[in-house]
Chains A and B, each alone.
Chain A
Amino acid sequence: MTSTALQESRAVPAPGSARLSAALWRRAWLRATLTLSPPLAWFLVIYLASLVVMLITAFWSVNPFTNNLEHTWTLANFQQIFTSTYLTIIGRTVGMAAVVTVTDAVLAFPFAYYMAREATPRGRQLLFTAVLLPLWASYLARVYAWIVILQKGGTLSWFFTKIGVGTVNIGYTNTAMWLVFSYIWLPFMIIPVYAALERIPDSLLEASGDLGARNWRTLRSVLLPLALPGVVAGSIFTFSLTLGDFITPLLIGGANSNFIGNVIYSNLGTANNLPFAAALALVPIVIMICYLVGARFLGAFESM
């Protein structure tokens, strides 16, 4: 059958394009090379090359007088990172990323559970829209809205005064940053957790019930372990987005609110100290690689 087909195709003189596609069909490696090389080239040139350039820059220094780059190898930039000022800032950034991630996980789980397993199809659609709607508005607009809410005499303070608690003035503090970060990145946690919860077959929950497990026990022993990869996948987003942010600290933070990103920004924008900025920029990269390796062990990449 195949041999007849081949003979027939040979009998008819094939046009160039047909011959090309036939050649590609016969040589799988050529096909793979041709389809993969543009994205691969993009990845190598745009992604990795820029990282390598940054890595190299981190070993140079800047002439304090003329601000010109000096291409002599030095570890001074990395040594500077390991001083208390920058360790505090790195600690604050990582700590905030962790707290925001935990907050979002705690908030997202019941929400995603309701969306995935309790809500009617129509209610689910509404909830989806509600979760995604803020993402359509500009990040800046949402952060500015929080300034109005949190500042002195703002909405929050007005509300607490009305219910008799007294004035609150948490604008321009790390507490304010925590609230805003948790709000802004929440959708990035809800969606993967929802995806993980939706995939759990009802039969497993029924089996758990049949074996005598109460709701709490089912949640602990069946739902949570199966949803964990989704939580970890969401945490990659919330953690890395917080880790790399510098706009919210700039707008919402007060004194003692610098993030790694702010220091990088000021070293680029104000000091023009590219090498130190590059060295500091490697810190979140290293942290994220460690985080991703950890996330992989928890199976996060199965539910992305």
Chain B
Amino acid sequence: MRRWTLGGALLAALSAVVLVAGCGSSGGTSGSSGSSSSGSGATAGLTPPQAGTAVPSSVGKTEGKLNLIAWEGYAQPQWVNPFEKATGCQVSVKYAGSSSEMVSLMAGGGGGQYDLVSASGDADLRLIYGGDVKPININLIPSWKDFHPFLQAPPFNTIGGKHYGVSYEFGPNVLLYSKKAFPTAPDSWSVLYDKKYAGQITVPNNPIQIADAALYLSKTQPSLGITDPYELTQSQFNATVALLKQQQPLVKKYWDLASQEISLFSSGTTVVGAAWPYQANTLNAAGQKVAGIIPSQGATGWADTWMLATHAPHPNCAYHWMQWVTTPKVQAQEAVYFGETPANKLACPIMDSIQKGSCEAYHANAPESYFNTIKFWKTPLAQCGNGKNDCVPFQQWVTAWTQITG
């Protein structure tokens, strides 16, 4: 009997906590509910904490070391080894599995340990406003002037004219379809909401997917007034979530891994879905008859940025790295290795020399109009671009996504 007193006490304590909380929710004893606390006015007119940090005017003596946080595949020996040889900076890499993991690792200005992070657009603003990254002197990166103009100062990494990093590579989220099920190519995201394909649809299991639906609604229901799929007012957000809830019974699987979607398409379980170009290329290489396209409404996409940690211990090596990875050669190597589009326009011929036709396949030579069809991921914030403070922040996107996927 005695050995159960501890367990009993623990049980009583835990049950009490849950019960109190339960009563609280019905009685409304606590003043701040989940939704009202997240829409607080604290963020209006906020400037990034590191906005005033001075940038260096030249790159000094290298420190001999460089610590990176990167996506897997972003620090391959093909370009890391020559970099180490040329600069004497020994590179250590910590691979992160998600944008949020990057944000966690970078907490406290990079922890005084990390120098650079290859953050995606949905993490950038969190890093900037969390004070974890600081402005860089973009003039110290010569290749920057060869970038596609829209990646030179994109809103997800440049605030108030200050560059919190240098753009790296990007890619669109495409509409993937089986050519067997679609003799004529679809030209609209509407097929993802079509009852005709019930049980044969797959979309990513990611809250940022709400932006895909918002983009679709911005074109099909102009009366909602959606101009930016990442800046949604409560009513626009509700309409988008309602559309996704209608879609849910039609969805066979919300995929978490690219390999899941590949297997869903090769087995014929699904015939249409939202995907990355990587899945389309892999399936095509395996002889599956599929295609990945950007429909008439445009598409969302990701764009990665190398960002400098506030407390970077090796800033000079970090600048050398940013110079190195933006050169056409490394840009091309990365693009072909990972299956994405380089920021540097001069990378195209080198891509073709590495793998014939890859420049065309990854749209590195596409006209500027192509890039304008892509709405790049950025963190949804309460503070909309226009200075108003009535947009739905990312945490509520996550909550809504749980409601949608069930």
- The answer to whether A and B interact is yes
- Chain B residue numbers with a CB within 8 Å of A263 are 402
> When the two chains form their complex, are residues B17 and A78 in contact, meaning their CB atoms are under 8 A apart?
yes
> When the two chains form their complex, are residues A81 and B21 in contact, meaning their CB atoms are under 8 A apart?
yes
* A289 touching B269 in the complex, CB below 8 Å, given contacts A66-B126, A85-B402, A255-B253: no
Complex: how many Å from CA A69 to CA B401? 22
- Chain A residue numbers with a CB within 8 Å of B32 are 74, 76
Residue A251 is within 8 A (CB to CB) of chain B in the complex: yes
Residue B381 is within 8 A (CB to CB) of chain A in the complex: yes
- Chain B residue numbers with a CB within 8 Å of A293 are 7-8, 11
Among A58, A272, A293, which residue has the most Cβ atoms of chain B within 10 A? A272
Residue A270 is within 8 A (CB to CB) of chain B in the complex: yes
State which of B10, B251, B382 has its C-beta within 8 Å of the C-beta of A255. B251
- Chain B residue numbers with a CB within 8 Å of A63 are 42
> When the two chains form their complex, are residues B398 and A273 in contact, meaning their CB atoms are under 8 A apart?
yes
Chain A window 281-293, contacts with chain B (Cβ cutoff 8 Å), 1 for yes, 0 for no: 0110110011011
Residue B349 is within 8 A (CB to CB) of chain A in the complex: no
State which of B4, B26, B251, B393 has its C-beta within 8 Å of the C-beta of A65. B393
Complex: how many Å from CA A251 to CA B264? 11
Chain B window 5-35, contacts with chain A (Cβ cutoff 8 Å), 1 for yes, 0 for no: 0011011001101101110111001101110
- Chain A residue numbers with a CB within 8 Å of B15 are 286
Chain B window 87-110, contacts with chain A (Cβ cutoff 8 Å), 1 for yes, 0 for no: 000000000011111011001000
Binds B, one of A4-12, A145-153, A191-199, A217-225: A145-153
> When the two chains form their complex, are residues B14 and A286 in contact, meaning their CB atoms are under 8 A apart?
yes
State which of A65, A171, A251 has its C-beta within 8 Å of the C-beta of B43. A65
A290: min CB distance to chain B, Å: 7
Residue A250 is within 8 A (CB to CB) of chain B in the complex: yes
> When the two chains form their complex, are residues A289 and B18 in contact, meaning their CB atoms are under 8 A apart?
no
Among A65, A169, A289, A293, which residue has the most Cβ atoms of chain B within 10 A? A65
Residue B77 is within 8 A (CB to CB) of chain A in the complex: no
Residue A80 is within 8 A (CB to CB) of chain B in the complex: yes
- Chain B residue numbers with a CB within 8 Å of A153 are 267-268
B163: min CB distance to chain A, Å: 20
Residue B254 is within 8 A (CB to CB) of chain A in the complex: yes
A78-99 contacts to B, CB under 8 A, are 78-83, 85-86, 88-89
Complex: how many Å from CA A80 to CA B37? 12
- Chain B residue numbers with a CB within 8 Å of A269 are 97-98, 100-101
B315: min CB distance to chain A, Å: 23
- Chain B residue numbers with a CB within 8 Å of A257 are 406
Q: Which residue of A lies closest to B12 (CB)?
A: A289
State which of A64, A68, A83 has its C-beta within 8 Å of the C-beta of B38. A64
> When the two chains form their complex, are residues A154 and B267 in contact, meaning their CB atoms are under 8 A apart?
yes
Residue B371 is within 8 A (CB to CB) of chain A in the complex: no
> When the two chains form their complex, are residues B21 and A292 in contact, meaning their CB atoms are under 8 A apart?
no
- Chain B residue numbers with a CB within 8 Å of A268 are 100
Residue B207 is within 8 A (CB to CB) of chain A in the complex: yes
> When the two chains form their complex, are residues B42 and A65 in contact, meaning their CB atoms are under 8 A apart?
yes
State which of A68, A86, A290 has its C-beta within 8 Å of the C-beta of B107. A68
- Chain B residue numbers with a CB within 8 Å of A64 are 37-40, 43, 382, 393-396
B38-63 contacts to A, CB under 8 A, are 38-40, 42-43, 46
* A151 touching B24 in the complex, CB below 8 Å, given contacts A269-B98, A270-B398, A286-B14: no
| B interface, size bucket | 35 or more
> When the two chains form their complex, are residues B34 and A80 in contact, meaning their CB atoms are under 8 A apart?
yes
B21: min CB distance to chain A, Å: 3
> When the two chains form their complex, are residues A255 and B268 in contact, meaning their CB atoms are under 8 A apart?
no
- Chain A residue numbers with a CB within 8 Å of B399 are 80, 85
- Chain A residue numbers with a CB within 8 Å of B101 are 269
> When the two chains form their complex, are residues A66 and B206 in contact, meaning their CB atoms are under 8 A apart?
no
> When the two chains form their complex, are residues B406 and A256 in contact, meaning their CB atoms are under 8 A apart?
yes
B46: min CB distance to chain A, Å: 7
- Chain A residue numbers with a CB within 8 Å of B33 are 76, 79
Q: Which residue of B lies closest to A273 (CB)?
A: B395
Residue B218 is within 8 A (CB to CB) of chain A in the complex: no
State which of B249, B381, B394 has its C-beta within 8 Å of the C-beta of A271. B394
- Chain B residue numbers with a CB within 8 Å of A283 are 18
* A79 touching B21 in the complex, CB below 8 Å, given contacts A290-B11, A293-B7: yes
Residue B65 is within 8 A (CB to CB) of chain A in the complex: no
Residue A267 is within 8 A (CB to CB) of chain B in the complex: yes
Residue A254 is within 8 A (CB to CB) of chain B in the complex: yes
> When the two chains form their complex, are residues B260 and A251 in contact, meaning their CB atoms are under 8 A apart?
yes
> When the two chains form their complex, are residues B395 and A271 in contact, meaning their CB atoms are under 8 A apart?
yes
> When the two chains form their complex, are residues A78 and B24 in contact, meaning their CB atoms are under 8 A apart?
yes
> When the two chains form their complex, are residues A172 and B18 in contact, meaning their CB atoms are under 8 A apart?
no
- Chain B residue numbers with a CB within 8 Å of A79 are 21, 24-25, 30, 33-34
B111: min CB distance to chain A, Å: 14
Complex: how many Å from CA A255 to CA B7? 37
- Chain A residue numbers with a CB within 8 Å of B131 are 66
Q: Which residue of A lies closest to B254 (CB)?
A: A255
A107: min CB distance to chain B, Å: 28
> When the two chains form their complex, are residues B402 and A266 in contact, meaning their CB atoms are under 8 A apart?
yes
> When the two chains form their complex, are residues A78 and B406 in contact, meaning their CB atoms are under 8 A apart?
no
- Chain B residue numbers with a CB within 8 Å of A66 are 126, 129-131
Complex: how many Å from CA A286 to CA B34? 23
> When the two chains form their complex, are residues B395 and A62 in contact, meaning their CB atoms are under 8 A apart?
yes
Q: Which residue of A lies closest to B102 (CB)?
A: A272
- 12 A-B pairs with CB atoms under 8 Å apart are A55-B17, A66-B126, A66-B129, A67-B103, A74-B30, A75-B25, A82-B22, A85-B403, A151-B264, A254-B251, A269-B98, A289-B14
Given contacts A82-B25, A250-B256, A270-B207, 17 further A-B contacts (CB under 8 A): A63-B42, A64-B38, A64-B43, A65-B42, A66-B130, A74-B32, A75-B29, A75-B30, A76-B33, A79-B24, A80-B399, A82-B26, A83-B25, A172-B269, A269-B98, A269-B100, A293-B8
Q: Report, nearest first, the 9 A-B pairs whose CB atoms are least far apart.
A: A78-B21, A256-B406, A79-B25, A271-B398, A64-B38, A66-B130, A272-B100, A64-B393, A152-B269
